[in-house]
Homo-oligomer: A and B are copies of this chain.
Amino acid sequence: MSKLNAVLAHIETDMGASLNRLMELLRIESISTDPEYAGQCRIAADWLVEELDKLGFRASRRDTTGHPMVVAHYDVGDGAPEGSPHVLFYGHYDVQPVDPLDLWKKPPFEPEIYEDAQGRKVIHGRGSSDDKGQLMTFVEACRAWKQQTGHLPCRVTILFEGEEESGSPSLVPFLEAHKDELSTDFALICDTTMWDEQTPAISTSLRGMTEEEVIIKAASRDLHSGFYGGPAANPIRVLGKIIGDMHDDEGKVTLEGFYEGVAEVPDELKAQWDDLGFDQVKFLGGVGLAYPAGEVGYSVLEQKWSRPTAEVNGIIGGYTGEGFKTVIPAQASAKISFRLVGKQDPEKVRSAFRAHVNARLPKDCEAEFINHGGSPAIEFNIDKPELKKATAALKDEWQKDTALIAMGGSIPIGGLFQSILDIDSLLIGFAHADDQIHSPNEKYNLESFTKGTRSWARILAALAE
C-alpha cells in the first residue's frame, strides 16, 4: 500500500471525526460584517490556531484592526521534506450574515447532515460551503498525512482570513507587512466551485477590473425644463451619449486602445472549453435570457471568461420618484466597470474611458471622475508543472478529466498574491452553484467534503513528487 493510499484510507476511517470538527467550526457565528459578532470571529480564529497546532503547524492568531488572520507554517524544520515545494493555502473562516432568518429551514448555526430532495447527503449550515467546509478539506487532508505518515509531504504555509465577506480591509496591509513570511512558490486558493457535480475544476484565469464613476455636471442647480429646457445643457443627455457610444454594433468596446493586451484563447484551452458541454441555453434561460449579448463571434463561455467588457452598473440623475417632475438636473452620474483579460492595463483602460467622456463633453459640462479601483486579469500558465500535477491528482480522485476553467469575476486574493507576493494561484474548490452561499439554507455536499479532502491529500502528494 503506497503512502498516499494509506492516507486516503485514513481519511475514510477518520471521516466521522473530521465531520465533527467541521461541525464545531460551523457552530461558531463568525459573521464578519456585524461588529456584534467580532468575539465569535476571534473564537473561530483561535479554534483554527489550536487545530493547526495539533497538526504540527506553528500557528498563530494575528490581530489586525479588524478581525484576526490565522497564519500557520509547516516547513522543513517541522518535518517537511527538504527541497519540497512550498505552497501557500488560503481560505476564510468568516461567513455571511444570516438574514432573512425566517427563510432558513433549520437554524443557520446548528449544522447537521441530512438527505436533500435529490437524494444527496448535504451538510447544512452557514459557512458550510463558503468557506469553512472548503478550508477544512485542506486541514483534514493535512491531518491525514500527519497522522498516517508522521509529516506533511511538502512545505505548507496557511493563511486564513476573517474579513473576506466584509471587503478584506486588513488584507493588503497584512500581506505587505508579511511579504517575506508569506513568500512561497505558489498559492492554493479553496473558495471556488467544481465544473459540475462529477467534474473537478481548476480556474486558470480570472478577469481583472477597472471600476470608475463619472459625474457629469452642468448648471449650478436643478432647473425647471419649462424655463430652461432648450438652452440649458442636460447632464443625463450627455451621459446617454457617453454610454450609447461605448459599444459598436458588434458589441465591441469603442474606447481607444481598449483591446491592447487582449489575446485569443489558446486553441488547446478553447478545445477543452468546447468539450465542457456548457449549456448556454440553460445558463441564459435561468435568468430569463436567450441570446448572448456580448461580442459577435464569441461563444457565451468566451464572452464571460476570456473577453473584456464595459458595463454600466448604476446610473442616476434627475427625478426618480413616483410620477413626473420636469427637472433638468444639475448633475447625473454613472458607475461603470470594465472586466479585463490578458494583459489589459486597468489604468490605461481608465484613461481611455476618461478620454472617451471628455471627448463627448459639450460646452458648459464638466466631468468628475471617481476611481473605484482596479486590478489586472490573472492568468495561470497552463503549461506549468504544478498545474499538470494538480490536474492529474484531481482526475485520479474524481475519475474524470479536470476542467480547466476561467472565472468571469475578479477574486481579489488571487490578484493580491500576484501583485504583492509575486506568486501565482491555483483556484481549486469543491463547492457547487446550488450551495446557496450568501443565501438562506447554505449547504455543502457531503461528497464535496469527503472527496475534497481526498483530493487535497492527492494534490499534496503530487506536488511533492
Contact = CB atoms under 8 A, between A and B. Distances in A.
Interface string A236-249: 11011111111100
Contacts of A245: 244
A232 B289 contact: yes
| Chain A interface main SS type | mixed
Contacts of A315: 236, 239-240, 315-318, 320, 332
Interface string A15-33: 0000000000000000000
A146 interface: no
A317 to B, nearest CB: 5
B294 A311 contact: no
Interface stretch (A58-66, A213-221, A414-422, A456-464): A213-221
A324 B318 contact: no
A339 B226 CA distance: 8
B227 A289 contact: no
A114 interface: no
B313 A328 contact: yes
A288 interface: yes
A362 interface: yes
Nearest to A218: B289
Contact of A316 (B226, B239, B320): B320
Interface in A288-344: 288-295, 300, 303-304, 307, 309, 311-320, 323-329, 332-335, 337, 339
Given A236-B243, A240-B242, A304-B231, A337 B312 contact: no
A364 B239 contact: no
A201 interface: no
A408 B227 CA distance: 5
A259 to B, nearest CB: 14
Kindly name the residue among A221, A225, A339 whose own CB sees the greatest number of chain B CB atoms within 10 A.
A225
Q: For the side of the interface on A, what is the size category?
A: 35 or more
A157 interface: no
A423 interface: no
A110 to B, nearest CB: 29
User: This chain: how many copies in the complex?
Assistant: 2
A230 interface: yes
Contact of A288 (B219, B313, B333): B219
Kindly name the residue among A221, A288, A300 whose own CB sees the greatest number of chain B CB atoms within 10 A.
A288
Contact of A225 (B243, B311, B323, B332): B311
A345 interface: no
A171 to B, nearest CB: 17
A177 interface: no
A303 B227 CA distance: 10
B364 A291 contact: yes
Contacts of A307: 230
A43 interface: no
A363 interface: yes
Nearest to A305: B230
A230 B316 contact: no
A375 to B, nearest CB: 12
Given A230-B294, A244-B244, A364-B293, A318 B313 contact: yes
Given A363-B291, A364-B290, A226 B407 contact: yes
